[in-house]
Amino acid sequence: MSSDSLPWVEKYRPAKLDDVYGQNDVVQTVRKFAREGRIPHLLFYGPPGTGKTSTIIALARELYGKNYRNMVLELNASDDRGIDVVRDQIKNFASTRQIFNSGFKLIILDEADAMSNAAQNALRRIIEKYTRNTRFCILANYSHKLNPALLSRCTRFRFSPLADSALQERVDHVIKAEGLKIASDARQSLLELSEGDMRRALNVLQACATAVEPGEEITQDMVYECVGAPRPQSVTTVLDAIMTNDWTDAYATMTKIRKTEGLALVDLISGFVGVLDKYELKPRTRMAVLQGLGDIEYSISKGGSDKIQCTAVIGVIKNALENEN
């Protein structure tokens, strides 16, 4: 595949540890392990798109250079073929002798938190068995879903959502490399809507770049459209209508904006929570609104009727405001 047809998340996957942004503590520590030649079994956990896979691959590339393919086995631990297949693959890989290299081989196990408890127990034995010439790097979103016995065999690193400054640095690099034009408010919205997830930032940027003609500027509206999030302006219009107008008008405004922008009610609720900071409300009122919106979001996830939940949103906000005085 030519590099032009690659998704940008792959095209711009960090080739070396220096290209991993915003995870300085982790990068420094694993680099130190590598320098001293004593890498422990590793567990990288944290939200998606924060660089767990990228960091271990970059580390492995620095460790093994062109020998990478022989020395690294990447497996998806949640593979539905089960732990037996994983065990066989690990066994084959770990037991073949390294002819040109001394040192250990590396096994990267992605999505380990999706493994059953029995499979995690089996994995723990496998790790013990092959520790002599193999190191494991376990990747997961949630560490609490992993068995304590497995956790205790690994040195843990938490990957936090990336700071806007880290996202910005990488996004600016891609904008420059791809020769894109992007309005500054669009770039700012892209960073905010990515919520610390670099994969999302790059995917949205690529979707926007595909939507514009060469040389045309990416606008803020395009960013919101690609993300499928409501524009702050629309959210504020609906919220203002609920707060100040009568019931019928508030409902009509909400329905109209939802229809023209194709918004799901949950997206609108997330939008309300996002802009609520800018409204001056008594703490008690703010809490009542947030709690009410949280309950409605839960009801929607359980299959609650759209129309009833729509009216419930108006009810929750109006009620909290009426009780304010």
Ligand X SMILES: Nc1ncnc2c1ncn2[C@@H]1O[C@H](COP(=O)(O)OP(=O)(O)OP(=O)(O)O)[C@@H](O)[C@H]1O
Residues contributing to the site for ligand X (CB under 6 A): 9-10, 12-14, 20-23, 48-54, 139, 141, 159, 162, 170, 198-199, 202
Measured at CB, which residue is nearest to ligand X? 51
User: Which residue, 47 or 274, has its beta carbon nearer to ligand X?
Assistant: 47
Report d(CA 218, CA 131) in Å as an integer: 51
Report d(CA 189, CA 85) in Å as an integer: 44
CB 267 within 8 A of CB 228: yes
> Least Å distance between CB 176 and ligand X?
15
Find residue 109's DSSP bridge partners: 75, 138
User: Which residue, 20 or 222, has its beta carbon nearer to ligand X?
Assistant: 20
Report d(CA 217, CA 180) in Å as an integer: 7
> Least Å distance between CB 202 and ligand X?
6
- Start-to-end C-alpha separation, the chain: 64
> Least Å distance between CB 325 and ligand X?
47
> Least Å distance between CB 77 and ligand X?
12
Q: How many Å separate Cα 43 from the centre of its chain? A: 17
Tokens 């032009």 sit on residue: 4
The DSSP code for 229 is P
User: Which residue, 108 or 254, has its beta carbon nearer to ligand X?
Assistant: 108
> Least Å distance between CB 181 and ligand X?
22
Cα dist. 259→24, 158, 252, 317 in Å? 44, 41, 11, 21
Report d(CA 27, CA 23) in Å as an integer: 6
Query: How many CB atoms within 10 Å of residue 133?
Result: 13
> Least Å distance between CB 205 and ligand X?
11
Report d(CA 169, CA 160) in Å as an integer: 17
Three-state DSSP at 206 gives: helix
User: Which residue, 161 or 292, has its beta carbon nearer to ligand X?
Assistant: 161
> Least Å distance between CB 208 and ligand X?
16
> Least Å distance between CB 47 and ligand X?
7
CB 44 within 8 A of CB 50: no
User: Which residue, 134 or 206, has its beta carbon nearer to ligand X?
Assistant: 206
Instruction: Report which secondary-structure segment, H or E, holds 217.
Output: strand 217-218
User: Which residue, 97 or 144, has its beta carbon nearer to ligand X?
Assistant: 144
Report d(CA 194, CA 205) in Å as an integer: 10
User: Which residue, 141 or 319, has its beta carbon nearer to ligand X?
Assistant: 141
User: Which residue, 19 or 221, has its beta carbon nearer to ligand X?
Assistant: 19
User: Which residue, 23 or 285, has its beta carbon nearer to ligand X?
Assistant: 23
> Least Å distance between CB 49 and ligand X?
5
Three-state DSSP at 10 gives: helix
